[in-house]
Amino acid sequence: IWNELSQECLPELTEQRLKEIAREYESKANFPHCIGAMDNVLFAVVDADYRFIYIDVGAYGKECDSTIFQNSTLYEHIQRNQIILPHPEPLSSTRSEDMPFVFVADEAFGLSPYIMRPYSGRNLATPK
Protein backbone atom coordinates (compact mmCIF):
# COMPACT_ATOMS: atom_id res chain seq x y z
CA ILE A 1 0.00 0.00 0.00
CA TRP A 2 2.77 2.43 0.97
CA ASN A 3 4.71 1.84 -2.24
CA GLU A 4 1.63 2.48 -4.37
CA LEU A 5 0.03 5.40 -2.52
CA SER A 6 2.81 7.29 -0.74
CA GLN A 7 3.54 9.71 -3.60
CA GLU A 8 -0.15 10.47 -4.02
CA CYS A 9 -0.98 10.79 -0.31
CA LEU A 10 2.30 12.33 0.90
CA PRO A 11 3.96 13.95 -2.13
CA GLU A 12 7.54 15.17 -1.89
CA LEU A 13 7.92 18.51 -0.09
CA THR A 14 9.40 20.71 -2.77
CA GLU A 15 9.88 24.46 -2.61
CA GLN A 16 7.01 24.83 -5.08
CA ARG A 17 4.68 22.61 -2.99
CA LEU A 18 5.54 24.55 0.18
CA LYS A 19 4.73 27.85 -1.57
CA GLU A 20 1.36 26.39 -2.65
CA ILE A 21 0.69 25.42 0.98
CA ALA A 22 1.62 28.96 2.09
CA ARG A 23 -0.84 30.45 -0.42
CA GLU A 24 -3.57 28.11 0.90
CA TYR A 25 -2.88 29.13 4.52
CA GLU A 26 -3.02 32.81 3.61
CA SER A 27 -6.26 32.32 1.69
CA LYS A 28 -8.00 30.16 4.30
CA ALA A 29 -6.52 31.33 7.60
CA ASN A 30 -5.13 34.79 6.78
CA PHE A 31 -1.69 33.50 7.83
CA PRO A 32 0.92 34.41 5.19
CA HIS A 33 4.09 32.36 4.72
CA CYS A 34 2.81 29.43 6.83
CA ILE A 35 4.08 26.19 5.27
CA GLY A 36 2.47 23.79 7.75
CA ALA A 37 1.17 23.25 11.27
CA MET A 38 3.08 20.86 13.55
CA ASP A 39 1.77 18.84 16.44
CA ASN A 40 2.94 15.86 18.32
CA VAL A 41 0.58 13.13 19.36
CA LEU A 42 2.38 11.59 16.48
CA PHE A 43 4.76 14.02 14.85
CA ALA A 44 2.88 15.41 11.88
CA VAL A 45 2.64 18.46 9.66
CA VAL A 46 -0.61 19.39 7.89
CA ASP A 47 -1.48 21.80 5.11
CA ALA A 48 -4.28 24.39 5.16
CA ASP A 49 -6.84 21.68 4.29
CA TYR A 50 -5.75 19.48 7.24
CA ARG A 51 -4.11 16.98 4.89
CA PHE A 52 -0.97 15.35 6.19
CA ILE A 53 2.13 16.52 4.33
CA TYR A 54 4.59 14.78 6.68
CA ILE A 55 4.33 12.11 9.40
CA ASP A 56 6.85 10.44 11.71
CA VAL A 57 5.57 7.73 14.03
CA GLY A 58 8.87 6.36 15.32
CA ALA A 59 9.17 8.27 18.63
CA TYR A 60 8.52 7.11 22.17
CA GLY A 61 5.60 8.68 24.06
CA LYS A 62 7.72 10.28 26.80
CA GLU A 63 9.85 12.38 24.45
CA CYS A 64 9.09 16.09 24.24
CA ASP A 65 7.90 17.69 21.00
CA SER A 66 11.16 19.46 20.21
CA THR A 67 13.19 16.25 20.73
CA ILE A 68 10.84 14.27 18.50
CA PHE A 69 11.13 16.96 15.82
CA GLN A 70 14.93 17.06 16.09
CA ASN A 71 15.03 13.28 15.67
CA SER A 72 12.67 13.30 12.67
CA THR A 73 13.62 12.86 9.05
CA LEU A 74 11.93 16.21 8.31
CA TYR A 75 14.39 18.02 10.58
CA GLU A 76 17.28 16.03 9.12
CA HIS A 77 16.21 16.84 5.55
CA ILE A 78 15.83 20.56 6.35
CA GLN A 79 19.25 20.67 8.02
CA ARG A 80 20.89 18.90 5.06
CA ASN A 81 19.03 21.12 2.54
CA GLN A 82 17.31 18.05 1.12
CA ILE A 83 14.01 19.87 1.58
CA ILE A 84 14.45 23.36 0.25
CA LEU A 85 12.32 25.79 2.21
CA PRO A 86 11.10 28.78 0.21
CA HIS A 87 13.42 31.78 0.43
CA PRO A 88 12.13 34.71 2.52
CA GLU A 89 9.96 37.13 0.55
CA PRO A 90 7.99 40.30 1.33
CA LEU A 91 4.51 39.57 2.70
CA SER A 92 2.93 41.87 0.11
CA SER A 93 3.81 44.24 -2.70
CA THR A 94 3.50 47.17 -0.27
CA ARG A 95 6.15 45.80 2.10
CA SER A 96 9.82 45.56 1.25
CA GLU A 97 11.18 43.54 4.19
CA ASP A 98 11.65 39.83 3.48
CA MET A 99 9.87 37.49 5.89
CA PRO A 100 10.63 33.77 6.28
CA PHE A 101 8.25 30.95 5.47
CA VAL A 102 7.49 29.09 8.71
CA PHE A 103 5.84 26.08 10.27
CA VAL A 104 3.48 27.02 13.11
CA ALA A 105 3.84 24.91 16.26
CA ASP A 106 2.98 25.01 19.95
CA GLU A 107 5.19 26.17 22.82
CA ALA A 108 6.80 22.75 23.23
CA PHE A 109 8.75 23.17 19.99
CA GLY A 110 11.99 25.11 20.08
CA LEU A 111 12.29 28.37 18.19
CA SER A 112 14.12 28.40 14.90
CA PRO A 113 14.13 30.57 11.77
CA TYR A 114 11.45 28.29 10.27
CA ILE A 115 9.24 27.57 13.34
CA MET A 116 6.81 30.14 14.75
CA ARG A 117 5.24 29.60 18.15
CA PRO A 118 2.45 31.57 19.83
CA TYR A 119 3.58 34.42 22.05
CA SER A 120 3.31 33.28 25.65
CA GLY A 121 2.14 36.66 26.94
CA ARG A 122 4.53 36.51 29.88
CA ASN A 123 6.13 39.73 31.08
CA LEU A 124 3.44 41.91 29.53
CA ALA A 125 2.06 44.87 31.42
CA THR A 126 -1.44 44.23 32.80
CA PRO A 127 -3.24 46.48 30.26
CA LYS A 128 -1.74 44.53 27.34
Has residue 72 been placed in a domain?
yes
Whether the pLDDT of residue 18 is over 90: the answer is yes
Looking at residue 8, its pLDDT comes to 78
Has residue 125 been placed in a domain?
no
Domains in the chain, number: 1
Q: 92-120: per-residue pLDDT in tens? A: 888 889 999 999 988 888 788 899 987 77
25: closest CA among 53, 58, 49, 59? 49
Has residue 9 been placed in a domain?
yes
Quote the percentage of the chain above a pLDDT of 70: 84
Average model confidence (pLDDT) across the chain: 84
**CA–CA separation, 25 and 23 (whole Å):** 6
- Its domain, for residue 16, covers 2-116
